[in-house]
Amino acid sequence: MSLARLVLKELAHRKLNALLSAMGIVTAVALFVAFFTTADASNRETTRLMRDLGFNLRIIPRATDMEQFWTDGYSAHTMAEDTVRQLASAERVFLVFNHLVATLQERVTVGDQEVILTGLARAITAPAQQQQPMGFAIEPGTVYLGFHVAQRLRLKAGDAVHLGSMPFTVARCLAESGTDDDIRVFGWLPDVQRFLNRPGRINEIKAIDCLCLTSDQDALAVSRAELDKFLPEAKVVQLRTLADARARQRQTVERYAAFLTPCLLTAAAAWIGVLAVLNVRERRLEIGILRALGYGSMPIAGLFLARAILLGVAGAVAGYALGSALAIHFGPGIFQMTAKSIRLLPSLFLGSLLTAPAFAAMAGFIPAVLAVNQDPAETLREV
């Protein structure tokens, strides 16, 4: 009788054990497929949420008086607007800094209220990354009003407002933030430069660090050392609490993934291994008879290993289908901001077909060895 027919008869005879073994493989594969299908969305979601906490680096002119900076909220010194492009063009800069936004800020009076007029350029992001830039996409001739500014001046979206003699349209009135953004007027950088008579000048570059190191890892020292190479006429200030929150959250997600993977592997291996051992114990008499009829160690070991591989292939196919269905159905509801990145991954199907049978064979290796080493005389004496 061929090994293939023997394996099929074995599966047909031990349906429950085969079904439970297959369920273990299907469950393991489905969990892995669902996890890795949504992993990219999870990483993007975490990155987006952490990004939305705001900028955690402020790059300002080196000559800035820090007492004045913290008192006014911005530097009294300026630097050329080209410095942001100079920084963005430096080699390896996006390994340290990202979402570079050139900014010009100054206190002015609008109506009867003192506000912080803030000009923002478009964010510059890493060229190889498909990232939605941070900050506001402010159009020329328009402004965004902070909550208290809009309340005090009784303005709403669509209204006209003047900065000096320059007319602007209110594009948006911002929600209350509980920060000094509530007394800001945001405008397009060239418009603000023209109003303040500071053409081509900025006094800050806002950025996010890409290192994701916590304070005990001294990320600020790394950022400062790199900035000295790229832009020696500037210095960097880190909003440490915000930077730590971003770093710790991302590191927590990475550690959780690293913890979950071996746990799933161990549980699946234990499940399949225990069922394989039980199958061998239940088949001791049949194995003894096969040995007594002259079947050697290799055919018997091959029976159990082939059985495990066949179940692994079936479990891989069913597990991939189940895991993909779970990811596609539930993923968009969990990762709402990055739902579009959840899609079928054919590479996971190929990986499942290669890994699951090998994994099942490894889990069944010890039971196969036990079966081969049984003395048929001792086994048949128990009958």
Residues 351 and 309 in one domain: yes
SS3 content of the chain, % helix, strand, coil (to 5): 60, 15, 25
255 falls within a domain: yes
**Residue 100's pLDDT is what?**
85
Based on the fold, state whether residues 221 and 147 are members of the same structural domain: yes
323 domain-assigned:
yes
Q: pTM here?
A: 0.57
Q: How confident is the model at residue 310, as a pLDDT?
A: 80
Strand pairing partners for 102?
A: 205
Q: Are residues 74 and 222 in the same domain?
A: yes
Collect the ranges in the chain with pLDDT lower than 70: 1-14, 17, 39-54, 94-95, 126-135, 210-220, 222, 240-254, 256-257, 261, 265, 268-269, 271-273, 275-297, 300-301, 334-341, 363-383
Task: Indicate whether 252 and 305 sit together in one domain.
Answer: yes
Q: What total of structural domains would you count in the chain?
A: 2
Q: Which domain holds residue 280?
A: 3-48+248-381
Between CA 154 and CA 149 the distance in angstroms is: 8
For residues 186 and 118, the answer to whether their CB atoms sit within 8 Å is: yes
- From the list 210, 247, 246, the residue with the least C-alpha distance to 97 is 210
Position 110 scores a pLDDT of 85
